[in-house]
Amino acid sequence: MAAALYYYWLGCGFLAEGRHWLDRALARQAESGRARPHDHCADLARHALRDKRFSASFRHGARLTLDQAVEYALGDLRAP
């Protein structure tokens, strides 16, 4: 669903609204007792990068604005 709506949210300037709905959907999934995909993905990344590199990358990502994060994901910003 997010992939299908991404261009709408981006093109119309509704990234905050998209984030809101995605956060709500993930929260509902967590409440249902299913494992959260984000937690699983973070565990895989931590294992692949080891703790020190994962922590540095996580801190870098936490400092990004939403626009910067989108640019980084699209390859427009340099990696840490």
Domain range summary for the chain, segments of one domain joined by +: 1-34, 35-80
pTM of the predicted structure, to 2 decimals:
0.45
pLDDT of 13: 82
Q: What is the pLDDT of residues 57-67, one digit of tens each?
A: 888 888 888 88
pLDDT of residue 25: 81
pLDDT of residue 35: 58
Q: Are 57 and 78 in contact (CB under 8 A)?
A: no
Judge contact between 50 and 42, C-beta under 8 A.
no
pLDDT digits (tens, 9 = 90+) for 8-40: 777 888 788 888 888 888 777 766 655 567 777
